[in-house]
Amino acid sequence: MNQQLALIAIVVRDYDEAIDFYVNKLGFVLVEDTYQPEQDKRWVVVKPAGDGGTSLLLARAANAHQEEYIGDQAGGRVFLFLRTDDFWRDYNSLLGRGVEFVREPKKADYGIVAGFRDLYGNLWDLVEFTDGRP
Count of CB atoms situated within 10 Å of the CB of 87:
20
Give the pLDDT score at 133: 84
Give the pLDDT score at 53: 80
Predicted confidence (pLDDT) per residue in 57-79, tens digit: 999 999 999 999 999 999 999 99
Burial category of 90 from C-beta neighbours within 10 Å (exposed 0-12, middle 13-18, buried 19 and up): buried
Q: How far apart are CA 123 and CA 101, in angstroms?
A: 9
Average pLDDT over residues 32-52: 94
User: For residue 129, which amino acid is it?
Assistant: F
State the average pLDDT for the chain: 96
User: For residue 16, which amino acid is it?
Assistant: D
Predicted confidence (pLDDT) per residue in 71-103, tens digit: 999 999 999 999 999 999 999 999 999 999 999
CATH of domain 7-129: 3.10.180.10
Q: Is the pLDDT of residue 51 over 90?
A: no
Q: CB under 8 Å, gap of 24 or more: what pairs does 69-72 form? A: 69/11, 70/11, 70/12, 70/13, 70/120, 71/118, 71/120, 71/121, 71/122, 72/121, 72/122
Ordered by start, the domain boundaries in the chain are 7-129
